[in-house]
Structure formats: C-alpha cells, structure tokens
Amino acid sequence: MGRLCFIVANTGMGKSYSMRNLPPEKCIIINTDKKELPWRQYGKQWNKELKNYLETSDIEDIRAIIKYGAENDKKIIVIDTWNMNVNDLVFSEEFRKRGTDYMTKWGEMAASQYQLFNYIRDNTPDDMYVYLMAHPEETLNEDTGLIEMRIAVHGGMLKKVRPESKSTIVLYADVQKKPEGVQYKFRTQTTGRDTCKTPVGMFEDSLVDNDLLEVDATIRDYYGLNSIKDGKARTKNAGS
C-alpha cells in the first residue's frame, strides 16, 4: 500500500523548490503546471529521456507514470500541482462541450480524482510516497462561522470527498520574514483553522525547512523505512 501526502501552499511559497535535493535516480516529477522548475539547470538531471520527469496533466498519463514508478523501484513521485491536473480537465474544450448533463461530467471528474487517490493507495509499494502539491482555498465553516483553509477543489462532489481525508500527512507552507532574510518553511501542525496535520510525534518542530528530501526522511524514519538520502549537498533555502 503506497502512501499519499499533501503539501499545500499558494504560488511562490516554496512548493516546487522543496524538490531541489531529491535524488533523480530514485524519484519522478510529474509537472502538471508545465512551467520551469525553480533551480539552476534542473533539466540536466530531470528530463523525459531519463524517465524521471514529464510535463502532463492527463489523468491516464499520471496513472501510467505512477505504475511505471512502482514497477521500477522509484521511491518518490511528486505531482506538481494536483490542482492543475483538475483545472486542465475542467477548462478543456472537451469538458465544456459535453452538453448540459452537468451531473454526469462533474461526477466523472470527481470520480477520476477519487480513483487516482485509491490507485496510489492500492497499486504502489509500501515504501513509495506520492506527494501531491496543492493550492489552498478559503471556505466558510457553517458550524463556527469562521473562515478556514483547505485544499482547493472544483465542484461540490469533490468538495465532499475532502482530499485531505485520504492522507494522514498534510503540510502547509509558511513564510517568515527574518532580519537575515525570508525563510520558507513547512508547517506540521494545524492552526485550528486549516487542514494541516501529521501523526503525533512525527515532527519535533511545528515548522521545518521546505526540503522535501528531509521531510521524506523524517516520515520514513517514523514508519521504520530506510531513508533515500544520498549525501547530496543541501541547497540554500528559498521559495518558488
């Protein structure tokens, strides 16, 4: 059973840059945003020829890449961002021209994403982690009357699914301004008004560096799995 984790942040808060230290031979990046990655000469280590990088938002392509990774001993797959996978479908010409049967097409869209979550869980090995980068949205809690943050979704059916319910690890980005400069972090605990969560005792600190390799090492240690860290030099913390 594979493991699904979410990293939630608005654009420019360090989601993509957190991937900078991942070992290319053990990981795959699915770039649904189809934009350049925010570190120098990334294309030398991450490209289609090496079979560790692909720009696509097609749900069938994504499932095929996950299947390839599972069969070829890849330890991490990153989908950056999950929202673009949904956006490209909803705003596609094919989707908009499917007539007036809104319940059918929106239901199919929601089902495709729900099935993706289940596919990751049911068809990947125990030591594979799939990280879904996601954007947040503000929503009104009708019970408390307070504005809360959650993963942004399209359509009422997918909203009811609540993507966060499919994972025990949901990190939120945090940006702090210090005298020495801006620091980009991941938050591991909820503020009480968002869906951030991690298992008890997994992270010692409520804020950790936005280094996905280090985050992954902490998660693997918690579950008794071997780290994939390869001794690569760390890159200075920055945003994307």
What does the pLDDT look like over 89-128, one tens digit per residue? 777 777 766 655 666 777 788 888 889 999 999 999 999 9
| Domain residue limits at 218 | 3-222
**231 domain-assigned:** no
Question: What's the confidence (pLDDT) of residue 230?
Answer: 55
Q: Are 4 and 121 in contact (CB under 8 A)?
A: yes
**233 domain-assigned:** no
**123 domain-assigned:** yes
**227 domain-assigned:** no
Question: What's the confidence (pLDDT) of residue 231?
Answer: 41
Greatest mean pLDDT range, 50-54, 80-84, 154-158: 50-54
Question: What's the confidence (pLDDT) of residue 98?
Answer: 60
Q: Which of 36-45, 64-73, 77-86, 230-239 has the lowest mean pLDDT?
A: 230-239
CB atoms within 10 A of CB 233: 5
Mean of pLDDT over the chain: 88
Indicate whether this model's pTM tops 0.85.
yes
**238 domain-assigned:** no
Query: Do you find a cis peptide bond into 81, omega within 30 degrees of 0?
Result: yes
Number of structural domains the chain divides into:
1
**20 domain-assigned:** yes
In 3D space, the residue among 77, 80, 62, 88 whose CA is nearest the CA of residue 14 turns out to be: 80
CATH (domain of 154): 3.40.50
In 3D space, the residue among 10, 32, 33 whose CA is nearest the CA of residue 194 turns out to be: 10
| Distance separating alpha carbons of residues 93 and 193, to the nearest angstrom | 36
Q: Which residue has the tokens 């942004």?
A: 152
**229 domain-assigned:** no
